[in-house]
Amino acid sequence: MRSLPVLKIGNLEINPPFILGGMGVRSTDHPLVSAVANCGMAGTIASVGLVRNVCRGQAYVDESNAGLTDEIRKSRELSNGVIGVNIMVALTNYDELVKTAVKEKVDYIISGAGLPLGLPALAKDTGTCLIPIVSSARSAEIICKRWWNRDKCLPDAMIVEGALAGGHLGFSLEEVPNWNERTLETVCAEVIKVARKYEEETGKHIPVVAAGGVFDGKDIARLLKIGVEGVQMATRFLATYECTLPANCKKLIVDATKEDMAIIKSPVGLPGRAIRNELVERVTRGEKLPISCPYHCLRTCDPTEASFCIAAALVGAHDGDDKLGLIMAGHNAYRIHEIVPVRQLIDELVTETLAELSKNTDDLTCTSGAV
Ligand SMILES: Cc1cc2nc3c(=O)[nH]c(=O)nc-3n(C[C@H](O)[C@H](O)[C@H](O)COP(=O)(O)O)c2cc1C
Other beta carbons within 10 Å of 151: 16
Average pLDDT value for residue range 226-238:
98
77-107 pLDDT, tens digit each = 999 999 999 999 999 999 999 999 999 999 9
Q: Residue 220: pLDDT band by 50, 70, 90 thresholds?
A: very high
CA–CA distance, 20 with 23 (Å, rounded to integer): 9
Long-range contacts of 321-324 (CB under 8 A, 24+ apart): 322/246, 322/248, 322/249, 322/251, 322/252, 322/277, 323/277, 323/278, 323/279, 324/277, 324/278, 324/279, 324/289
Residue 366 scores a pLDDT above 50: no
Q: 330 CA distance to ligand 1 centroid (A)?
A: 8
Distance CA 212, CA 251 (A): 21
> What span, in angstroms and rounded, lies between the C-alpha atoms of 112 and 80?
26
Query: Are 160 and 231 within one domain?
Result: yes
- Same domain membership, residue 186 and residue 150: yes
Residues 16 and 126 placed together within one structural domain of the fold: yes
CB 305 within 8 A of CB 57: no
- Is residue 370, in this structure, part of any structural domain at all? no
Measured in Å, residue 28 CA sits from the centre of ligand 1 at 10
Per the domain annotation, does 231 fall within a domain?
yes
For ligand 1, atom 20, name the residue with the nearest CA: 165
Residue 267: what pLDDT?
86
* Co-location of 25 and 110 in the same domain: yes
What is the tens place of the pLDDT at every residue in 241-273?
999 999 999 999 999 999 999 999 888 778 999
* Mean pLDDT estimate for the chain: 93
C-beta neighbour count of 300 within 10 angstroms? 17
Q: Can you tell me which atom of ligand 1 is nearest the CA of 113?
A: 11
Are residue 239 and residue 286 in the same domain, yes or no? no
The answer to whether residue 357 sits within a structural domain is yes
Indicate the number of domains in the chain.
2
**Rounded Cα distance, 245 and 306, in Å:** 25
User: Looking at the structure, do residues 323 and 353 belong to the same domain, yes or no?
Assistant: no
Pick the atom of ligand 1 nearest to 161's CA. 19
Residue at 28 is within a domain: yes
CA of 165 to the centre of ligand 1 (A): 7
Q: Which atom of ligand 1 is nearest to the CA of 21?
A: 17
Task: Give pLDDT, residue 180.
Answer: 67
Strands (E), the chain: 7-9, 12-14, 18-20, 42-46, 82-86, 108-111, 129-134, 158-161, 167-168, 208-211, 230-233, 261-265, 271-275
> Considering the domain boundaries, does residue 371 fall inside one?
no
Q: Separation of 138 CA from ligand 1 center, angstroms?
A: 21
pLDDT at 368 over 60: no
- Helices 184-202 and 217-225 meet at what angle, rounded to 10? 40
Counted residue by residue, the chain has a size of 371
pLDDT band at residue 364 using 50, 70 and 90 as cut-offs: very low
For range 21-33, the mean pLDDT: 97
The verdict on residue 96 lying in a domain is yes
pLDDT at 330 exceeding the cut of 50? yes
Beta bridge pairs of residue 19: 42, 232
Residue 1 lies in a domain: no
- In a shared domain, residues 221 and 176: yes
Three-class DSSP labels, 212-274: CCCCCHHHHHHHHHCCCCEEEECHHHHCECCCCCCHHHHHHHHHCCHHHEEEEECCCCCEEEE
Ligand 1: atom nearest CA of 44 is 17
In a domain, 2, yes or no: no
CA of 360 to the centre of ligand 1 (A): 31
Site to probe by mutation for ligand 1, drawn from 235, 249, 277 as the one with most ligand atoms within 8 Å of Cβ, is 235
Residues 294 and 357 in one domain: no
- Find the range with the poorest average confidence among 185-199, 252-266, 297-311: 297-311
Same domain, 68 and 92: yes
Which of 23, 50, 68, 326 is the best mutation target for the ligand 1 pocket, counting ligand atoms within 8 Å of the beta carbon and taking the most? Answer: 23
Contact 7, 17 (CB under 8 A): yes
The atom number, within ligand 1, closest to the CA of 27 reads 1
Cβ atoms of residues 98 and 109 within 8 Å: yes
Please give the residue range of the domain that contains residue 323. Answer: 247-333
Question: Are 65 and 48 within one domain?
Answer: yes
CATH, residue 340? 3.20.20.70
Asked if 108 and 253 sit in the same domain, the reply is: no
- Does the pLDDT at position 371 exceed 60? no
Expressed in angstroms and rounded, the spacing between residue 202 Cα and the centre of ligand 1 is 31
- CA separation for the pair 40, 363 (Å, rounded): 27
CA-212 nearest atom, ligand 1 = 23
Which residues line the pocket of ligand 1, CB cutoff 6 A? 21-24, 27, 46, 48, 86, 88, 112-113, 133, 161, 164-167, 211-214, 232-235, 328-330, 332
Q: Same domain, yes or no, for 201 and 305?
A: no
